[in-house]
């Protein structure tokens, strides 16, 4: 059967593939599960910590960036593992880049949440 090329059928198929990606991330990736659980805890808190709509948007955006980075990291790792199990400098480098992206996303969460919480509760 041919893939739908446009319209609602294509959009629905894309949503199915996206949902499969979320499920695979949850099932196979501990770091993704941890990030989802962190988001589940922090998302409601964003509406208390954030002083206005911009604060809340920044708090939530940082969490989404973390999820995105974890999914990309998992995709890179799966692709490298699919290519082969033998050690190769470029394979290691690709996995390290993915891990670095996840770390930067986690640091972004800490920076945004820390700054907004400090402004709300401790500072200016």
Q: Please tell me the distance from the alpha carbon of residue 102 to that of residue 91, in angstroms, as a whole number.
A: 17
Angle among Cα 72, 73, 78 to the nearest 5 degrees reads: 95
Helix 89-117 crosses helix 30-49 at what angle (to 10 degrees)?
20
70 catalytic, yes or no? Answer: yes
Q: Out of 70, 77, 86, 89, pick the active-site residue.
A: 70
By CB neighbour count within 10 A (0-12 exposed, 13-18 middle, 19+ buried), where does 46 fall? buried
**DSSP 8-state class, residue 87:** -
Residues annotated catalytic, as ranges: 70
């Amino acid at each position: 059967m041919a893939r739908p090329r446009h319209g609602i059928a294509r959009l629905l198929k894309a949503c199915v593939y996206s949902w499969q990606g979320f499920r695979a991330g949850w099932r196979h990736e501990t770091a993704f599960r941890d990030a989802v659980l962190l988001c589940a805890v922090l998302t409601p808190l964003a509406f208390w910590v954030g002083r206005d709509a911009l604060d809340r948007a920044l708090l939530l955006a940082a969490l989404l960036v973390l999820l995105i980075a974890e999914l990309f990291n998992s995709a890179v790792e799966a692709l490298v593992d699919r290519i082969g199990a033998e050690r190769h400098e470029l394979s290691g480098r690709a996995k390290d880049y993915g891990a670095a992206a996840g770390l930067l996303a986690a640091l972004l969460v800490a920076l945004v949440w820390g700054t907004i919480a400090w402004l709300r509760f401790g500072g200016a």
